[in-house]
Amino acid sequence: GDSVTQMEGPVTLSEEAFLTINCTYTATGYPSLFWYVQYPGEGLQLLLKATKADDKGSNKGFEATYRKETTSFHLEKGSVQVSDSAVYFCALITGGFKTIFGAGTRLFVKA
Amino acid sequence: EAGVTQFPSHSVIEKGQTVTLRCDPISGHDNLYWYRRVMGKEIKFLLHFVKESKQDESGMPNNRFLAERTGGTYSTLKVQPAELEDSGVYFCASSQELAGTYNEQFFGPGTRLTVL
């Protein structure tokens, strides 16, 4: 069945460091891909999305490119801030309404 | 515009007791979904309502879980009797009905359920 695999955390970085969180997927058909973020004490928020191959989603300095050839959707940010500390979930939808999530990656950013 | 709300934010119950979680979707959203995250693992789909009808309940773990959406507005998820393995965070989401396009799902803050 469809699945999402993302790097295990926690990831600990210093402020202004470069961030990469790897995400790969297995899916039938042509999925739409998403990154969600959960800040402490809050719900899930859609961070960015890409609906077809080679699309780049971007928001708040974060970017991810839909790579069909490598079935990947890695999340990147050039310079993280303390306020980026959160749990990040990679996810996909194929065909229906059901969202398939990865296990989540916790990011800690130190000042 | 109010987002998806869930109540309670946290519930602690003993094994064998009953708990009912509530979700209020964004007004006008016909689609409502329940998901849960257990033990820090991935968030898993439980079921999907379109208005008051269950469209897909393939993720419901067993018959101790009962979801309802009377009148097609808010939804409840009842766990009876609760077991230890039911502990986790239960998320609700809603989306508009937009034929032919991807329906962005808006998530609530979740209900953290602890079964002792």
pLDDT at A30: 83
Q: Helix, strand, coil shares of chain A as percentages rounded to 5?
A: 5, 50, 45
Under an 8 A CB cutoff, do B105 and A101 touch?
no
Residue numbers in A near B105 (CB within 8 A): 46, 97, 99
Burial of A64 (0-12, 13-18, 19+ CB in 10 A): buried
CA A97 to chain centre: 19
Contacts of B35 in chain A (CB under 8 A): 99, 101
Residue A68 burial by Cβ neighbours in a 10 Å radius (0-12, 13-18, 19+): exposed
Answer whether residue A106 shows pLDDT above 90.
yes
* pLDDT of residue B98 exceeding 70: no
Query: Who among A32, A49, A98 is closest to B56 (CB)?
Result: A98
Q: pLDDT per residue over A3-24, tens digit each?
A: 999 988 899 999 999 999 999 9
Show residues of chain A in contact with B10, CB under 8 Å.
Answer: none
Q: State in Å, rounded, how far the first CA of chain A is from the last one.
A: 41
At residue B101, does pLDDT exceed 60?
A: no
Nearest residue of chain B to residue A103 (CA atoms): B42
- Find the CB nearest A103 among B41, B107, B109: B41
Which stretch of B20-34, B38-52, B87-101 has the lowest confidence by average pLDDT? B87-101
Q: Which of A91-100, B78-87, B94-103 has the lowest mean pLDDT?
A: B94-103
Amino acid at B59: G
Residue B87 forms beta bridges with which residues?
none
Chain A with chain B: Cβ pairs closer than 8 A: 61
Statement: residue B83 has pLDDT above 70? yes
Query: CA-based angle B114:B44:B93, to the nearest 5?
Result: 85
Per-residue model confidence (pLDDT) at position B112: 94
Q: Between chains, do B37 and A104 touch, taking CB under 8 Å as contact?
A: yes
B5 touches chain A (CB under 8 A): no
DSSP percent split of chain B into helix, strand, coil, nearest 5: 5, 50, 45
Minimum Cα–Cα distance from B42: chain A residue: A103
Per the model's pLDDT, the better-predicted residue between B104 and B76 turns out to be: B76
